[in-house]
Structure 1
Amino acid sequence: MDKVKNTKLLTYDIKVRKVVSNKVRWYSFTDTESVGCIIYNLLACIRKGSVLLYSRNKNYTSGVSKKGMTPYRIIKAVDFLEKEGYIINHKGKASMVVENRRMSWVEPTDRFLSEWQVSEIYMQAELDYLDQCEVIELRDTNKNTIPYRNSEHISRMAEVVRSLNKMNEVCVVKDGNDKLLSNIYCRIFNESFDYGGRFYRADVLAIKNKDDNARLDITMDGSSVCEVDYSNLHFRIAAALEDLDSEDIPLDVYSGILDDETNKVDRGIVKLAVNMMFNCYNDEKAQGAIQKEINLLPKEEKSKYTLGNAKSVMALIYRAYPTFSHLFCEESSFGRILQNADSHLASDILEVMLENGIPCLPVHDSFVVKMEHMDLLCDTMGDCFRKRFETNGVVPVGVKWKINGLVNEEKICV
């Protein structure tokens, strides 16, 4: 789903301060609670110029609000505020296909800004927002939020995310176009807390990175950044979970099975294929997904591609890694377990960064920090992997950074 940069997602349970609730009582709208909720959420967006995302799905009520706030009430309040000239409302798009959904969002007008010109309110609203925004979410098979029973373990996970959000919001993060980014994360689990759990919603995730490594153009408090990612992470997690010796796995499991290890197009397809085989429920689905990627290769890349159709690619992977064959295209999708494992690993790393007072932007299995913190991050990633998966081997990671617009890349073992 396309995502507008510099955003906050409306939180229904934000504590609305009296300076706001007293004022909205004079508005010509009966449901002052919902109007106050929207206004206070918007005030939390002002200082960094964020826009406010919200849902227009009127039928959805499960697990939304402890206060009984519903999307229906919010929609009515949004319509009122738009009519009165306080906000500009950008309506999204509903779809049965998750990828085609578009979020609705609002931004303040000059009238709104002139009525709320007290910077102290903005800062207090930001703090209240960070205290109440959703940081742990459980979804059903249709990607709808569902309620869950809290526990000490879940509370601990939530505290890490909240602390991360507060640390990152203090830091001034800008993209390569000098636009502010708001990196407020939420860990999203799928169907149960045994599946999923990755960190989503931060603006850094909306940066398209494939062709020009645009994430490396980010600045944090004016400082340049580096990005460190695990090499072949899911393969290495799978090996650890299966008690296999990590020393038997090549440093690059994708290039290692190719006749020409320098062929980046072939390697890219093999990497995609491995991920799809871990995530798809059967061979047929994996084959269809892989073939689609092969068909979508640009003309220039197609001329360099040598591996044949999807069936041939899958056969190559099965031959190269027979030890993992029972984990590929598995009925319950082993990929969900791998994503859950890598999300807990990410949380381990972020805890260390937080203890050291270092802002950090996780992007699934990679992490963006200021250049000065690169060594600590690399060492932490190695230590956390060994500790979580009870292994003693070296851990390969890739480090990238930019100097004068040119990408520098290094592969190291930590």
Structure 2
Amino acid sequence: MIDNEEQSLTKVLQEAIPLQVHRKTNYPPMNEQLSGIFSELAQLRKANNKQIRKAARAKKHLDVIILDLWIAANYSDNPWRMISLNRNDYTKDTRYRKLYLKYDLFKGVLYNLIALGYIEIKKGFFDRSKGEGFQTRIKASDKLLALLEFDITKIERDPETPEEEIIIKKDENKKVIDYVDNKITNQMRENLQKYNSLLRKTNIGTDGINLRYKYDPTCITVKRVFNADDFGGRFYNGFWMNMPKEDRRKLTINGEEVGELDYSALHPRIAYALKGILLNEDPYTIEGCDRAEVKKAFLVLFNCESPEHAINTIRSESHIKNAKPLLQKIEQKHEAISDYFFTPSFGMYLQRNDAWLAEYIINRLTNKGIACLPVHDSFIVAKKYESELRSAMEDIFYNTFSIKPIIK
């Protein structure tokens, strides 16, 4: 049991995201609570014959830490945040690190909060001989959470904090890497900034959805992530993207009910379209097979290097026992596109295309002032704009592949 708990904690710590430094609140009841904690911090320093220098800025650091840890504890499945205790990380900005926090102020406030029992910490380390390390993680303690009565709707973005990078490049190990900007990346960033500006002005309602411990409704802006050898750049970060469809249906946009349209079986239809074939039937329906299992297995075929690789992946990741016969049935039914199977470069091509489709749709609707929430190959808009969305989805698919898509 202990081993399982330790493994679970290790996984959670590894998946922790960085502390979000852009939080603030102007809501008096919440500011009173934060000021009360800051007074405790001042008393602690006084008892240790120390003073708080630059009190206003120190208070701002305290607010950032507590607001984000409260959100992590209440509106995420992971209460831990990753922080740096390396002074060098606070002395200069890089593409992905624009902390705006001051090292001495941050560290002083952090360790005072730890001493007061308001924060738990898992100290990081770096092994120079192995070139491996673990960055420090922190989370709000039960003592702190019991003290706070916050309202998520009263937490906003601090306009004084620098904008984060929204065009992100990762290497084959999923680590962010720097890149040289060009006309394409600059245009992408400009388009995405315009889109995010529209999202910030949009009221995305969540009444009727249980957000606690699952979704952070303050994540309303979007980033594009380019993985190694990926020139597509899928859209990520919006809190709605991780919701099941039944919750997404309960969203509202500017007080109105929403509609969601998606490309039916997008990747198989693209593959057939490249052969000049209009696929009218459901590619995932195969007699004697579970449709959900067919769908999971089908998409693996484009990204694996061999049948053996596909079978092992289907078994390990989708937990499908009859992987081999299922694979054979899919290959038989879809012989027309079988030469695309077991070709990872084609799988990457499909991912690039769904990102490009999404880019066109989002830009077209943004230019019309219509807020559109992407979920990879599906899109959410206020119901009155469904026809606009459908038109954009049909136009870009037909212009790209010379065949009409099926949209549901």
Fold conserved (TM > 0.5)?
yes
Contact in 2 for aligned 1:45/1:126 (Cα 8 Å): no
Q: 2:349 and 2:195 mapped to 1: Cα distance?
A: 24
1:71–1:56 distance in 2 versus 1, CA, 3 Å: farther
Partner residue, 2:282: 252
CA contact (8 A) 1:10 1:38 kept: no
| 8 A Cα contact 2:114 2:120, kept in partner | no
Deviation string, structure 1 residues 221-280 (Cα, Å, up to 9, x no partner) = 22221211101111233344xx42142x2342222xx236xxxx6111111111111122
1:201 alignment partner in structure 2: 237
Q: Secondary structure at the match of 2:404?
A: coil
- Distance across 2 between alignment mates of 1:78 and 1:327: 56
Identify the match of residue 396 of structure 1 among 379, 384, 406.
406
Post-superposition offset of 1:172: 2.1
Establish whether residue 56 from structure 1 lines up as the match of residue 56 from structure 2. no
Counterpart residue type for residue 222 of structure 1: G
Q: Does 1:140 align with 2:206?
A: no
Q: Is the 8 A contact 2:85 2:136 kept in 1?
A: no
C-alpha distance in structure 2 between counterparts of 1:128 and 1:252, whole Å: 51
Number of aligned pairs? 345
Residue 225 of structure 2 corresponds to: 188
Matched, 1:325 2:341: no
Which structure has the bigger radius of gyration? 2
Question: 5+ residue gaps in structure 2?
Answer: 1-7, 25-49, 126-134
Cα distance in 1, alignment partners of residues 65 and 360 from structure 2: 30
Distance, in Å, in 2 between the alignment partners of 1:50 and 1:277 is 36
Q: What letter matches 2:385 in structure 1?
A: H
Please state if 1:217 is matched with 2:230.
no
Contact 1:87 1:106 in 2 (8 A): yes
Match of 1:370 in 2: 382
- Tell me which amino acid in the other structure corresponds to 1:177: I
Structure 1 gaps, min length 5: 17-25, 95-100, 297-307, 399-414
Alpha carbons 1:90, 1:104 under 8 Å: kept:
yes
Change (3 A) 1:228 1:393: same
Q: Secondary structure at the match of 1:171?
A: coil
Question: Could you report, residue by residue, the CA deviation over 1:8-67 in whole angstroms, capped at 9, with x for unpaired residues?
Answer: 97567x7x9xxxxxxxxx98479x9998678569889999x9889853366897955566
Matched, 1:343 2:355: yes
1:355 aligns with 2:370: no
Q: In the aligned structure 2, how far is the partner of 1:380 from the partner of 1:41?
A: 42
> What residue in structure 2 maps to residue 76 of structure 1?
107
Aligned pair in 2 of structure 1 residues 46, 174: CA closer, same or farther (>3 Å)?
Answer: farther
CA distance in 1, matches of 2:386, 2:51: 52
Secondary structure of 2:302's counterpart equals helix
The offset of 1:349, in angstroms, is 0.3
Aligned-pair CA distance for 1:135: 1.0
- Identical pairs, percent: 26
Change (3 A) 1:282 1:234: same
Partner SS state of residue 132, structure 1 = coil
Alignment of 1:14-413 (within 5 A): 28=52, 54-56=81-83, 65=96, 76=107, 79-80=110-111, 82-83=113-114, 125-127=157-159, 132-175=163-206, 176-177=208-209, 181-182=217-218, 183-194=220-231, 197-209=233-245, 213-240=246-273, 243-247=274-278, 249-255=279-285, 258-259=286-287, 266-292=290-316, 295=319, 309-330=322-343, 332-387=344-399, 389=400, 391-398=401-408
Whole-angstrom distance in 1 between the partners of 2:406 and 2:136: 37
Shift of 1:343: 0.9
Question: What is the root-mean-square deviation of aligned Cα atoms in Å?
Answer: 4.9
